[in-house]
Structure 1
């Protein structure tokens, strides 16, 4: 079967690999779609903190069930997505029903080989039915679930004024799910092109590009108070540090993006605000189910979010073009 392998930074290759052999308790999935996200771009560029090469990327997956144990609720041919966060089931986080931050977590496409291949065997309980969704929609569930999980972590309500920093796929997912709560949402980014798309196409109400006058704009948006909840989805250590100053007194700061940097902040400013600092990692089945429900209802503009499609075997060429033109790319999906 054809498999895309990241051999080392900036080097992708197409390999022929043998078909995987399914074990009891696993489902064999025929992979049909693979979404690319910031994690994949970071892997390609050599700055993903949890990875060793070579690696088969791909954790935003949609496919069809090819083989499964007899008696499984999954059906051969069923359209599914996959929760790529495979927990150990026994560590302190798993015992607290927080498998998304398992001590020994194995993330498809990061810690272990992922879905840029024709067939993949995974634990059957990681397979999530996506009945009623197209393959493209099913491939977008995972990144939206990360956003939905972050919003749940931030305990956002309709009374909150929310700032989302970063207008990539995760940031737009966060902004969408904040708007679903009824919160007043502002989205900022370095790219006016991305912000225009988020505002005019996706429907994010308030957007602003970074630049001179930004702090005054943000103060004006909140009557000088700044924001009850701030989310960082930039992947930038510098942006994360700046974000502390946008949190209102008594507010919450949710770090969604992962960076290699050591993050520092002013302790007096942090304490006088009594800031709540939260990490948000991955997503749970609850978040996946929530996203699928929103897609089925038509509340998520999935066709607008999916800006690019290409053949999986073209990934070694296409990924460079996607990185060079990220202002025009929201969600790119590889087809098999």
Structure 2
């Protein structure tokens, strides 16, 4: 049996490069994707490593990654709508990877699987039974490195739609990581006025540059209460993932306002005490994206027409063999986002 290399989490806080991952065996409707790059998700991937993710966790040892980008190099015998050389994001692996490994979600491997959903539907399969419904083709005008942030951008784009951001809304965003900045950018595209809070001055300056954020607050250097001085917002979004932020966000809302929960809550911080929320407010939970693939083509068009520059949303490109260094940089908030490359 041929093997490939992959980044796996083997236990809480432990990651290694494994070289005994069985190469995917293609089903009739599956195509083999050679992974060239994969974004490291500061939220989900780190939570998987730390053992704090609940939804979708396959169990240790598990192959990481959901932001992979690669090209099709082989086809199953019933594949009709995928072609050699096509580029796709989110190559996946079968749940039972083999050799005792699971996958969550398996894009940080040298090869992955793309499913020909269209052919399966044409041949009478139920849409609910498609094995990998969260995948998408991207054009050759977008390189593999840039495609490593394509999913994150589409997730933030869809979040703005799902949260119901409207022109002239006053919005406060907690968190100026790659997702927070992308979220602020799409809020701006929707015509909203954005204030952003973070504890890293460089990230706040970057939010002003890239997302054209109107106001920023550094909670490590300024009193948020003093700066806002009673100002309330139509919507406050937690892009960090803490219930304490949800409570604080609620108390910064106008009557009838909405708290958007976008950051992924950890498994020991998932209960929201509604008694701590301001009266006449709503909470919209979006810890896991919804509709990001439905809006993917529109997100891609914003890139291809030059409205969005993908390189604005990552700061480092590193080989997958330096995963330990990459994780250290993420933990220390020394990077915006890292794209890992898989070309030996």
Assess if the C-alpha contact under 8 Å between 1:32 and 1:118 holds in 2.
yes
Residue 128 of structure 2: aligned partner: none
**Cα distance in 1 for residues equivalent to 2:335 and 2:29:** 38
Assess if the C-alpha contact under 8 Å between 2:169 and 2:192 holds in 1.
yes
Q: Please, which moves more after superposition, 312-321 or 262-271?
A: 262-271
Residue 113 of structure 2: aligned partner: 121
Residue 9 of structure 1: aligned partner: 12
Residue 65 of structure 1: aligned partner: 72
What SS class does the counterpart of residue 270 from structure 1 fall into? coil
What SS class does the counterpart of residue 116 from structure 1 fall into? coil
Select which of 24, 44, 49 maps to 1:44: 49
Residue 226 of structure 1: aligned partner: 232
Assess if the C-alpha contact under 8 Å between 2:44 and 2:264 holds in 1.
no
Assess if the C-alpha contact under 8 Å between 2:38 and 2:148 holds in 1.
yes
Once the two structures are superposed, the pairs formed by residues 297-312 of structure 1 within 5 Å of their partners are 297-312=305-320
Show CA shifts across 1:232-257 (max 9, x none). 11122322221111121111111011
What SS class does the counterpart of residue 31 from structure 1 fall into? strand
1:315 aligned to 2:323? yes
Residue 20 of structure 1: aligned partner: 24
1:71 to partner: Cα distance: 5.5
Assess if the C-alpha contact under 8 Å between 1:241 and 1:263 holds in 2.
no
Gap change, CA 1:300 and 1:190, over 3 Å in 2: same
**Cα distance in 2 for residues equivalent to 1:56 and 1:288:** 25
Q: Please, which moves more after superposition, 109-118 or 17-26?
A: 109-118
Once the two structures are superposed, the pairs formed by residues 89-104 of structure 1 within 5 Å of their partners are none
Once the two structures are superposed, the pairs formed by residues 71-82 of structure 1 within 5 Å of their partners are 72-82=80-90
1:72 to partner: Cα distance: 2.7
Show CA shifts across 1:120-177 (max 9, x none). 1143344311112111221111111221122111111112111111111211121111
Gap change, CA 1:176 and 1:244, over 3 Å in 2: same
Assess if the C-alpha contact under 8 Å between 1:147 and 1:177 holds in 2.
yes
Q: Please, which moves more after superposition, 25-34 or 46-55?
A: 46-55
Normalising by structure 2, we get a TM-score of: 0.81
1:295 to partner: Cα distance: 1.3
User: Unaligned regions of 5+ residues in structure 1, if any?
Assistant: 87-108
Assess if the C-alpha contact under 8 Å between 1:74 and 1:129 holds in 2.
no
Show CA shifts across 1:83-137 (max 9, x none). 87x9xxxxxxxxxxxxxxxxxxxxxx99644111111114334431111211122
Residue 60 of structure 2: aligned partner: 53
Gap change, CA 1:311 and 1:34, over 3 Å in 2: same
Normalising by structure 1, we get a TM-score of: 0.83
What SS class does the counterpart of residue 286 from structure 1 fall into? coil
Q: Please, which moves more after superposition, 256-265 or 191-200?
A: 256-265
1:287 aligned to 2:295? yes
Gap change, CA 1:258 and 1:239, over 3 Å in 2: same
Once the two structures are superposed, the pairs formed by residues 170-319 of structure 1 within 5 Å of their partners are 170-211=179-220, 212-219=222-229, 224-259=230-265, 260=267, 261-265=269-273, 267=275, 270-271=278-279, 274-280=280-286, 281-284=288-291, 285-319=293-327
Residue 31 of structure 1: aligned partner: 35
Show CA shifts across 1:16-58 (max 9, x none). 2231111122222111111011211122223223332111110
Which one has a larger percent helix, Structure 1 or Structure 2? 1
Assess if the C-alpha contact under 8 Å between 1:145 and 1:283 holds in 2.
no
